Structure 1
Amino acid sequence: MSSQAIFSEEKNPRGIPKAPFVENIESYLGGGDADVEGPLKRFQDALAKYRYMDGTLTQRRASLEEKIPDIKKTLDMVEFLRDRREGKGASDDNNEDDLDEDLDEEDEGPPKPLTTAFELNDTLYAEAELQDTDTVYLWLGANVMLSYKIPAAITLLKSKLEAAETTLKNTIEDLEFLREQITVMEVNTARVYNWDVKRRREKREKQAPRPTASQSVAELD
């Protein structure tokens, strides 16, 4: 009989196969005289695949945990610019009502430019004045920057934030699942190896020559 498949047909929602726990080693290997070298090699190959996926997902998790705060900061800034513009509009409407009531009242005029600092790199910042604007520029990656109207930019950033948070949640779940499968495969490997050691020892004991009756009498003398 041949040994069973390494991976189970059961998978997690992202398609990562589950590692079945080997309960009956002799039955799994296909008999008491089965060779364990092949199954142990396949176990090691499966472990290598699981560990490779674990390393890849760990890097993805670190990237997302760094990216999500940046998206949140950008979204907060664009929403601030939106609220500032909406506040200015409301102020203009109030000014029109005040002018109707008192024509001698002076206009408040446009709001003062907003002074802020923006990051050029990890340790270098520059100061800038933000005028009243309805357009923002967003880095999309790969040295690509596009201009968006503020409402469109907010919609885009919210969708990217939601997608990144969902991906991070799924990545964390996949990492937990992978580490469970790595543990199962390590236990399977140890159990098969120990079973083979025990089988070899029992085989040597059976094959060892037993003392004859004359040898036993000689030892007693």
Structure 2
Amino acid sequence: MADKKTSSVTPPTNPRGIPAAPFVDNVADYVSSRSEVEPTLRSFQEMISKYQFMEVNTQRRGQGLRDKIPDIKKTLEMVRFLKLRRDGASDKPLETNFELNDTLYARATVSPADTEEVYLWLGANVMLAYPIEEAESMLADKLSAAEKSLANCEEDLEFLREQITVCLSLFFLFFGIFSLGVWGGETWIIAHANCCVDAGGCDGSGL
């Protein structure tokens, strides 16, 4: 059966372990009888659904990273700015507005000597204090990891779209064979079309 043929050899995968679609260079070798066509069609339908599911999840993950990266960059730039002022770039107090809520701000004056540590939101209403050097290092690592993950998402999306295209092409190839009843030079009667078709085509007399 076609299912056995597709599962007998482990397909290659991309770096994240997403399996590649099967490569069919000879239809007759892949499906040896008409009875195997329907299971093969179901197999390709399942593969297409799985690839499309992974595509949607990867798109969501990528969008989440695109939303997160600018915030990380902005926070990292601020930490580096505070570190630069602390290290003597300027001894003038910094006047700024602290966001307390979406529409509520508090004005504050920050002395360069008071920036030995910063407070970072970690999510889930959790905030922790970090020494400024540790905060810079952590944010730089998070930014690098997020950018790498985004690049992987984009690579995976391209790979998934290629596999969906391959599976769709194979699905319609086998569907055409099944619908027309053309297999190995034999002639079959197709009930739903009520048309006699051979390898040379149909003259339409049965339609």
1:5 counterpart SS class: helix
Bigger drift between 55-64 and 113-122 goes to 113-122
Aligned pairs, how many? 184
Q: Point out the structure with the larger strand share.
A: 2
8 Å CA contact 1:8–1:19 kept in 2: the answer is: no
State the AA in 2 paired with 1:14. R
- Counterpart for residue 44 of structure 1: 45
TM-score by length of 1: 0.75
- Counterpart for residue 215 of structure 1: none
Equivalents in 2 of 1:179, 1:152: separation in Å?
40
Q: CA deviation at 1:125?
A: 4.5
- Counterpart for residue 127 of structure 1: 107
8 Å CA contact 1:21–1:188 kept in 2: the answer is: no
Q: CA deviation at 1:70?
A: 0.5
| Structure-to-structure mapping, 1:1-221, within 5 angstroms | 2-3=1-2, 4-5=5-6, 9-31=11-33, 33-87=34-88, 111-120=91-100, 125-132=105-112, 133=114, 134-199=116-181, 202-204=187-189, 205=196
Q: CA deviation at 1:161?
A: 0.6
2:6 counterpart SS class: coil
Say which structure, 1 or 2, has more relative contact order (CA 8 Å, 6+ apart): 1
TM-score by length of 2: 0.80
1:138 counterpart SS class: strand
State the AA in 2 paired with 1:20. P
Bigger drift between 197-206 and 181-190 goes to 197-206
Unaligned runs of 5+ in 2: 190-195, 199-207
1:22 counterpart SS class: coil
Q: CA deviation at 1:36?
A: 2.0
Q: CA deviation at 1:115?
A: 1.4
Q: Point out the structure with the larger helix share.
A: 1
Q: CA deviation at 1:29?
A: 1.6
Equivalents in 2 of 1:115, 1:206: separation in Å?
83
Equivalents in 1 of 2:82, 2:197: separation in Å?
85
Unaligned runs of 5+ in 1: 92-110, 208-221
User: CA RMSD, aligned part only?
Assistant: 2.4
- Counterpart for residue 203 of structure 2: none
Equivalents in 1 of 2:173, 2:66: separation in Å?
38
Q: Which has the larger radius of gyration?
A: 1
